[in-house]
Structure 1
Amino acid sequence: MKDINTIVTENFNDNIAYLEKYHLITFKKLSALDNAIANGHYQERYELVYEDGNIDVVDKQTLLYLYSKKSSTHAVKSAESINYTLDNLFEGFERHKFTKNEINNLKDDKSFNSHLPSIASIIDYINQHSISGKSLKSIDKFIFFGVGLGLHIEEIHQKVKSQVYLIIEDDLELFRLSLFTINYQNISRSAKIFFSIFEDQKASDKTFNDFLSAKSQYNHYLKYFHLLSHNEKKLDEFSVVLTAQPHLRFLFHNLLNQYSQPLNYLFNDYKFLKQNTSFQNTELNKTPFLLLAMGPSLEKNIQWLKKNHKKFIILAVSSTLSYLEKEGITPNIIIHIDPFEWGDISFKKLQSIEFIKNSVCLFSTATPKNITSLINKENLYFFETGTSYKINSLKLSSPCVGSLSYQLLLVLNAKNIYMLGIDLAVDADTNTTHSSSHQFNKAIEDKAGITYKDSLIEVDGNFDNKVKTTPHFNASLQIIEFFATKFKSKNQNIYNLGSGAKITGASSKEPTNLNNKDISFLNFQTELKLFLDKNSSKELTKNEKSRLSKKVSHARLLQKKILKGIDYTNVISYLNLEISSESTELDKILDTYLRYMLSYVYDFFNTQEMSNKSTHQTNLNTILAQELLDIIEYYIKGHQWQI
């Protein structure tokens, strides 16, 4: 039998080799800690001790034992606390319950204006045949919040034998000690491990997303163990990431319409901006651009704006229009990206559509027809979002209009960019999210738990040291940081005039400290249209039409494969939907749909008490196949009618 010194030495050597090969970031953190200790820059807080057959950790500052000299007992009791009932878990799905009338009404709805018709039959079948108070047959993914010495991790792994683990520890020194007491390499032989060790929120959010992406069909119920000595904050942060997964935030029917809508414009002679469109070396670039959005700062600075708006080319997001109309400020450029029909409220709130009759409109190709029909076709220019129908068209991507507008001005090489209302933070006095006239303005309560849109966290402020924002806004700040790093040139000057969050790449500037002059040339609106006309195209090339035909052929191939029969257990690999740069739009739609649906199906069969499994499997495979065929048929109709 090996003595304790041999065991801890072998564990440490195995773990270091494993981390260096498969988890290099974590390995480098440990190396940095070792160097800091060796050079006297860090004083070790903990000491590993072995007494009376128990291994434990002593806090040198308090002289307290982490496990009260009962680490083995703690590990066993931790494993005993894990059961197969539906408690101590996260739910990675949306709950749905349908009445018979709703099912009948949804059954024949093939409009894809909602996701419900495509999910109702499967979820209703599952609801009708699910066992109340069921027990899970297996726990395929598991999360550890807190490592300590990790003894409980090995005990729980021996019990549940999950396929995927997420291991979270904020104390790097404590995690380092666990390398002596637990063999992560051995666990990794039968399971995939994701480590979130000593990570800030940005890094941990990425790790959480990576964990959720692995075998996502098992995300329905995610069991976890929380070490009481570990901060609970990470539980809230994980919950936010879980509910903000892409397939839950932007549903497959939104993708389907986003990918189909551009074809209505491509074949009806609408103008598409070219990829290399640039204001550089044009008269337009001698004039500063002012980007306006509906953050609280817009309303607070409206008197300044009314006096000074003629000193800028005004680029306004569509939600500002009715407010700007009331204040007598006509935008030169309007940005709109929402793919939803209810987005027309920004235009219907106008007293008169004549207010924007001369404004240039730069719209996403996902914009629905009920909105574009309100705009003079000669003033409308499209950029693609999420599609690549035209090879050399301008392509932008961002989940919110503020960050996309920022990206747009960067890629157009606007030299001097000013921003007002891109707050991405709540008002310091009222906790409101937008200016008072915005349709979705609301006050956020500052509370302990974290939800994606309705809780507050602190970030760096533009004028104040810290401001409060929501996780939703914070995601946009991270996207802006990426845009600034990727697209901002040395010749571009960006100024944030708002009192919200600090914007990466932008200098803070109080509006009252500006001394811009009125625009020097009077025909800039005409010049702007001439410039955009020169840098846009209307028709599809022969090559682009050929690519479109290939997309339809690919869709028909998927139809044939599905008609041969599918099984939910391998449908993604069977249809070759593993997403890559070569994936078609249809692949992404089906992948998003299956990510939404498969966890319901997998969980239904993950039931100890289930009987008649083969019957249920046949029935659900049949329903799933029909839903996939309906999606593909809608896609084909939208793509082939003009080829």
Structure 2
Amino acid sequence: MNWIDSNIDFLSRSSNHWIGELQEKDIALEILTNDESGNEVLLYNGEIITIKNEFDESNLPNKFKKELIFLVGINSVSEVANIIKTMSQESILVIVEPNESFFNLALNKKDLKFFESPNVILFADNVNNFPLFLDGLFSTIAIFFIKNIKFYFTYYYRQFDLETCISIVKSIKKTAQYKTLVYGNSVEDSLLGLKQNMLNLKHLLRSKDVSQLKDKFEDVPAIIVAAGPSLNKNIRQLKKVKSKSIIIAVDTIAQRLCDEGIIPDFICSIERGEVVYSYFYENKSSISKIPIIAPLLLYPKIFDEHEGDLIIPMRKNVGEYVWLQEILGLSEDMSISIGISCAHVAFGFAAHIGASPIILVGQDLAFGSSTNETHASGTIYDNIKSDNEENYIEDNQYTEGYHGGNIATTHLWNSFRTWFEMEILEKKLNVINSTEGGSKIANTIQMDLENVISQYCTENVVPVKELLKNTTKYPLNKSEVRGSLEDQLSSFENMKIDFELQLKLVKSISLTSRSSEKVLMKVLSKLEKTDAFFNQVKENWLLRHVSQPVLLSSVWDLFSIEQTLSYSNLLRNREVQLGFLTVCVFVLGEIINILQDVLITF
């Protein structure tokens, strides 16, 4: 029987699936027969293989827990059906099929009715695209399942292709670690960030409109200069590219470039600490008029004293900034991908202005010749021991090097590298890594800077100064901004009252190990009312951003509790809810205080 029409119908009902384009040349599989036990006998790449109807009983889901289950292999539909039967109805099942031949066979010859469920998601594509799929997946509610991941490998992959299974597991773990880092700021840290953003809100009125810069340097080479130790090899070559490319420098290396007579077109910063000001900007007259690209998070004195143009983009996909865009009516093109490092700001801006190729220099993301060598010479770190130096040495991480082999790096630098790799893959960017050392960055072309300059930096480009002169500021009115903040203040004050009432209700719950089933059901009914408050946090961009650590940890803790009615389970549930609601009331109070303060001075 041919199932393709109904299967296409099932799969087309959800946008969550990731299905690559089938290439006829890659289809190398056919069903020959079924043996006496009902097992399929297949001809695959010229070999006859038998796919047995065997279920791995040793690796079953927990039907009483909410889990994120990655199942590898779509062709064994009986195994898929068994997993669905044994898992919780609130779990998410991701079916991964990296083999086009097996996906094509299943699409045409198997009943894939299980894709009617919104909790069953398909990835069917080359495994090289799996990290990009994961990045999107963990940007959804799947992030709440990240502590409850389970793997299941169907018969073919268990018996014939464990290498692919290992690659998939490594990719999932790598992305999960990266996402945990991205979402990992503490509540206190997020509140400090919000306070600084609000202190700098006045400077948004001075900033050039980032949307007007979109694609203004389309197909113009942009060189992103970071401060890795390999920059010592080729920094002087950058003198050749002035006016023939856009030079975007991270703050650490800006002064060194100026000392070399290489004046960057832009300087990028991201950190909010005072040391960024004292290390890189204070009394630095040579860089005071260079346009600066930075989020509102930056240490306020930098914006206060900077004489050059300010370019303050919104941070794409960061809740606090999405909230700000919404209340101020700022368009999507006013945001860029900023990531978590200074070089990420530069990279995101280069992509936003349409630059191509984007050329990385000094982007080592690894140690130099020793663990003492973390930056190029001529920076502040020549005289100041890095705050992270001891952590660097203890981290003991290794990665593939630019020139091959394994080189020493850190968990944080690996996360920076992962961000680059994901951005390049997702946006199909033309990126050349001319660091000539450090880590190998996937999805880039490696080329010596000298060759890059001779091949790409050959024509004069429109002067940045001229372009910025014709770029207007954000379309913001001070009184309208103030009115939006007042509306938000009122909304958060009302929300705080509701959270306080629910916290009082949960605190009043009383139960003992001798409580009857009737009492337990009443307790459960009261606890379920907190679901609406979890949803409020998820749906409010600012509250979600600030409360994200406690939201994630609370959901992870709740998901670890079996969904059976018992005294111990309800007691744990109550404890988790008390922690969640207490922090939310605190956060709402702090948000209210911050908004009140900014309204006094704005």
Q: Please say whether Structure 1 and Structure 2 have the same fold, judged by a TM-score greater than 0.5.
A: yes
Q: Are 1:640 and 2:596 an aligned pair?
A: yes
- Structure 1 SS opposite 2:169: helix
Q: Is the 8 A contact 1:277 1:412 kept in 2?
A: no
Q: Tell me the equivalent position of 1:624.
A: 580
Letter of the structure 2 residue corresponding to residue 213 of structure 1:
T
Q: Tell me the equivalent position of 1:361.
A: 292
Is the alpha carbon distance of 1:177 and 1:481 closer, same or farther for their aligned partners in structure 2, counting shifts above 3 Å?
closer
* Pairing partner for 1:167 from 82, 90, 95: 95
Is the alpha carbon distance of 1:319 and 1:549 closer, same or farther for their aligned partners in structure 2, counting shifts above 3 Å?
same
Q: Tell me the equivalent position of 1:372.
A: 302
Distance 1:202 1:432 in 2: 36
Tell me how far 1:167 sits from its aligned partner: 0.9
Q: Tell me the equivalent position of 2:361.
A: 421
Q: Are 1:476 and 2:420 an aligned pair?
A: yes
- Structure 2 SS opposite 1:47: strand
Is the alpha carbon distance of 1:331 and 1:215 closer, same or farther for their aligned partners in structure 2, counting shifts above 3 Å?
closer
* Pairing partner for 1:564 from 501, 505, 509: 501
* Pairing partner for 2:72 from 145, 150, 154: 145
Distance 1:515 1:160 in 2: 55
- Structure 2 SS opposite 1:301: helix
Distance 1:345 1:428 in 2: 23
Tell me how far 1:161 sits from its aligned partner: 4.5
Is the alpha carbon distance of 1:245 and 1:409 closer, same or farther for their aligned partners in structure 2, counting shifts above 3 Å?
closer
Unaligned runs of 5+ in 2: 316-320, 404-412, 504-525
Unaligned runs of 5+ in 1: 1-8, 85-135, 446-450, 460-468, 489-493
Question: 1:96-175, aligned counterparts within 5 Å?
Answer: 137-138=64-65, 140-162=67-89, 163-175=91-103
Query: What percent of counterpart residues are identical?
Result: 11
Q: Are 1:510 and 2:441 an aligned pair?
A: no
Q: Is the 8 A contact 2:365 2:416 kept in 1?
A: no
Q: Tell me the equivalent position of 1:105.
A: none
Q: Tell me the equivalent position of 1:594.
A: 551
Q: Is the 8 A contact 1:364 1:384 kept in 2?
A: yes
Distance 1:49 1:279 in 2: 58
Letter of the structure 1 residue corresponding to residue 133 of structure 2:
K
Is the alpha carbon distance of 1:404 and 1:161 closer, same or farther for their aligned partners in structure 2, counting shifts above 3 Å?
same
Tell me how far 1:641 sits from its aligned partner: 2.1
Q: Are 1:316 and 2:249 an aligned pair?
A: yes
Question: 1:2-41, aligned counterparts within 5 Å?
Answer: 9=1, 15-22=7-14, 29=21, 32=22, 36=24, 41=25
Distance 2:191 2:484 in 1: 18
Q: Are 1:79 and 2:6 an aligned pair?
A: no
Tell me how far 1:383 sits from its aligned partner: 0.5
Distance 2:96 2:468 in 1: 56
Question: 1:549-588, aligned counterparts within 5 Å?
Answer: 549-565=486-502, 571=530, 573-574=532-533, 576-577=535-536, 583-588=540-545
- Structure 1 SS opposite 2:33: strand
Q: Tell me the equivalent position of 1:548.
A: 485
Q: Is the 8 A contact 2:255 2:287 kept in 1?
A: no
Distance 2:460 2:147 in 1: 57
Question: 1:149-548, aligned counterparts within 5 Å?
Answer: 149-162=76-89, 163-178=91-106, 183-185=111-113, 187-188=114-115, 192-203=119-130, 205-207=132-134, 209-210=136-137, 213-214=140-141, 216-226=143-153, 227-228=157-158, 229-230=160-161, 231=164, 232-245=166-179, 248-251=182-185, 253=187, 254-267=189-202, 271-275=206-210, 291-295=224-228, 298-305=231-238, 315-321=248-254, 323-324=256-257, 327=260, 329=262, 331=264, 333-339=266-272, 341=273, 344=275, 347-348=278-279, 353-354=284-285, 356-369=287-300, 372=302, 376-379=305-308, 381-386=310-315, 387=321, 388=325, 391=329, 394-399=334-339, 400-408=341-349, 419=359, 421=361, 423=363, 436-437=376-377, 455-456=399-400, 472-480=416-424, 499=436, 510=451, 513=454, 531=469, 535-536=472-473, 540-548=477-485
Bigger proportion of residues as helix = 2
Q: Is the 8 A contact 1:143 1:225 kept in 2?
A: yes
Is the alpha carbon distance of 1:205 and 1:295 closer, same or farther for their aligned partners in structure 2, counting shifts above 3 Å?
same
Tell me how far 1:621 sits from its aligned partner: 2.3
Q: Is the 8 A contact 1:304 1:511 kept in 2?
A: no
Q: RMSD value over aligned CA atoms?
A: 5.3
Post-superposition Cα deviations, 1:521-579, rounded to whole Å, max 9, x if no partner, equal: 9xx99x679939x8447985222211111221221222122122167756464465486
Q: Tell me the equivalent position of 1:118.
A: none
Is the alpha carbon distance of 1:80 and 1:179 closer, same or farther for their aligned partners in structure 2, counting shifts above 3 Å?
farther
Post-superposition Cα deviations, 1:38-88, rounded to whole Å, max 9, x if no partner, equal: xxx566334342121322233455644334xxx23x22xx1354375xxxx
Tell me how far 1:367 sits from its aligned partner: 1.1
Tell me how far 1:637 sits from its aligned partner: 1.3
Tell me how far 1:509 sits from its aligned partner: 6.7
